[in-house]
Structures are given as C-alpha cells and as structure tokens.
C-alpha cells in the first residue's frame, strides 16, 4: 500500500501484544508496532495529494508507529509533530522518520484536554476504536477544525466513528493482519472532520 515508506513493525504482533500485557506494568498496548488500516489510508491520501500538507504545520495525533507523520513529512509538511502518550510510540516514530530520511518532532503527552492549536493540519489514523477514546478525541478534532485547521481521520469502519459532521475524501482497500483484524482486507475511508455536526 505504501511502497515508498520503510516502516519498522513487529514480526509477530500477537506475541508482542501478549508480552506487553503479561509485563503487568502500566504500559499502553503496543499500537506503535503495527501499521493500522486508518493510518495506512491516511498516509496514502497525504502522499497522493501533497498539497494538503505542503508547507503547513502538521500534527499527527496518536501517531503510533509514526507512519502518518512520516508520510506528511515526505509530502512537504513543515514542521510535522508526532504526538502520543506512549514513549515507545515516539521512539518508533523517530526510528521510522530516520529510516525514511525525514524529520518529525515528537511530543509526548495527552493533548486532548486542550492547549495545543498551532497545527494547520491535524491527522489522526484509527482513533475511534473505543467509546472512551471517541468521546475524548472528537471534541479535540472538531475544535481544531473550528480554528481553521484541516482535520483528516483515517478509519476502517470502527464502531465509534461518528456518523455526522464528516465528509468522505477517499476510500481504500487496505491489506491488514488477519490475526489483529479478523479479515485480510479492510475498506478504509479518509474523512474530513467538520467543526460541527
């Protein structure tokens, strides 16, 4: 799906996930170790239409592996910020940026409470995976859109994707890991988030 991007990923995602959970420490699941469908679609969309990000400040919210941040940087986004609450995610994003010869600025922490608005473009791949996350991320995304940012999300039809206030920009068939997703391919959309529903 993204042959122009080199991405470090887990060889055995299920085993890594199980080891992370078995460790017992307060550590988020290793979302950074995989290229999730929403992120792949969003990265493809940005690479195919670089004018969306070129010369603009970009925030990749919940960056995971950094795939979307790397794509935004390759497409000319300047600066590109990769944000996540997981320090392992930011290490993965930095490793993937270096592997692709681009620069991304890591920002660790939860930005959803507010106080972060310098980005002209906000990208978020696969963030509607739980009711709690959807309830927190949607106001942040709508707030950014209300301030004039272009807000794009990649989503493979997760249960908590809002049904209103979105405009479909693109659709892709994304090959996925059947062990994680239960199917070999997910139809995945890139949506523009509007300021209000």
The order of strands in the sheet holding 166-175 is: 105-108, 80-84, 58-61, 121-125, 150-155, 185-193, 166-175
Q: How confident is the model at residue 9 (pLDDT cuts 50, 70, 90)?
A: confident
What pLDDT score was predicted for residue 83? 97
pLDDT for 25 beyond 90: no
Superfamily of domain 30-193: Vaccinia Virus protein VP39 (3.40.50.150)
Question: Among 177, 3, 178, 9, which residue's Cα sits nearest to residue 89?
Answer: 9
How far apart (Å, rounded) are the C-alpha atoms in residues 48 and 50?
6
The domain locations on the chain are: 30-193
pTM for this prediction: 0.92
């Amino acid at each position: 799906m993204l042959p122009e991007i080199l991405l470090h990923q887990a060889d055995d995602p299920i085993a890594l996930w199980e080891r992370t959970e078995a460790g017992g420490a307060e550590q988020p699941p290793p979302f950074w170790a995989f290229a999730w469908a929403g992120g792949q679609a969003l990265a493809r969309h940005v690479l195919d239409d670089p004018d969306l990000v070129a010369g603009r400040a970009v925030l990749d919210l919940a960056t995971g592996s950094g795939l979307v941040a790397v794509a935004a940087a390759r497409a000319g986004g300047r600066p590109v910020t990769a944000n996540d609450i997981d320090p392992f995610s930011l290490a993965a994003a930095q490793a993937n940026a270096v592997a692709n010869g681009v620069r991304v600025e890591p920002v660790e922490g939860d930005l959803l409470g507010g106080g972060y608005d310098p980005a002209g473009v906000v990208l978020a791949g696969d963030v509607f995976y739980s009711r709690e996350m959807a309830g927190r991320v949607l106001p942040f995304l709508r707030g950014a859109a209300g301030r004039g940012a272009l807000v794009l999300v990649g989503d493979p039809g997760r249960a908590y994707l809002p049904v209103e206030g979105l405009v479909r920009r693109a659709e892709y068939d994304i090959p996925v890991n059947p062990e994680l997703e239960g199917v070999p391919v997910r139809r995945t959309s890139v949506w523009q988030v509007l300021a209000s529903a």
